[in-house]
Structure 1
Amino acid sequence: MVQIGNIHLGKAETAERPKLDAGEAFILWDLLLSRYDIIQKTQIYQNFAHDPDLKALLAQGLAGVLEKQVNVLEKEMNTFNLSLPSRPPKSMRLPDVSAIIEDEFMFRDVFFGMQGFLDYHARTIRSFTTNDKLRAQLINFAVDELHLFDLMVKFGKLKGWLRVPPFVL
């Protein structure tokens, strides 16, 4: 037992067990599986990319956002004793067939994927009504994704890969 002044704090068994409903459990599993797929695709694109800036941006997305989110999601899945989806290999090394896929195509595929995932974040956040801690974590994921999306928009404009619709005068 821990004592702070006149306050006595009980052992951990007196703490309330975290709650998670079935829908939230599925969303955690689906988010983790999506991250695994995105990591694998990003690793493939890193192998195909010619542009060093694009390679750096993909590496930043992997290490700065995706891998961190996977670690958090795996930890939460373990906290609730949920089965983890099969994880892809840690890295992807492919033969040099980089002439098959152009850098602009890879950028646009990642960009459109991020746009879709921003919508998915909003839908999943509003579904987490039981577990406040996980809802807050998903909000943090969405904020990280928004910052990365902003970087992608600026990068796409700089490279001329972000197709801007014509202006009306």
Structure 2
Amino acid sequence: MRTAHVPVVVVRGDRELAATRPPVAFDRVVVGVDGSACSVRAVGFAYDFASRHRAELTALLAFAQQPPDALPPNRGWTFDSDAIDACRRVLAESVAGYRDHYPDVVVHQNVISTEGPTEALLTAAVDADLLVVGTRGRGIVRSTLLGSVSHAVAHYAACPVAIVR
């Protein structure tokens, strides 16, 4: 997945897409949004997929309740309520340009506070037909210390996962 230059879709379990079976229906697509360039490409992929399959789209921005500092403790950290408004703006801006190109797609925007984005995406995708995430390109050191959301959801999501670089 790290070296792929095209979106990678991970499908496991009983969702076989063999030519001998009838086509799989897709009703709900979830896309993770964080405002990065990769996230914007993931949103574009999710909109296109949802449009082609007449599926509803849930755009989810999950922000950490505490900063993701790998080393120092987070003592005395207080939550700034303006952060929620900032997250809503980021989410709205991330999906805004695609609404004109895909007017047929029903979009639900969710901003949630969570311990981490991985858990939020896995929870949101429990009844989804596809989960779409971007890669942030943190590099090997930061990914090792902080973890990779795309790597985690590819391994633990109950539904197929599309990873957009």
More strand by share: 2
Structure with bigger gyration radius: 1
- TM-score, reference length from structure 1: 0.28
- TM-score, reference length from structure 2: 0.28
More helix by share: 1
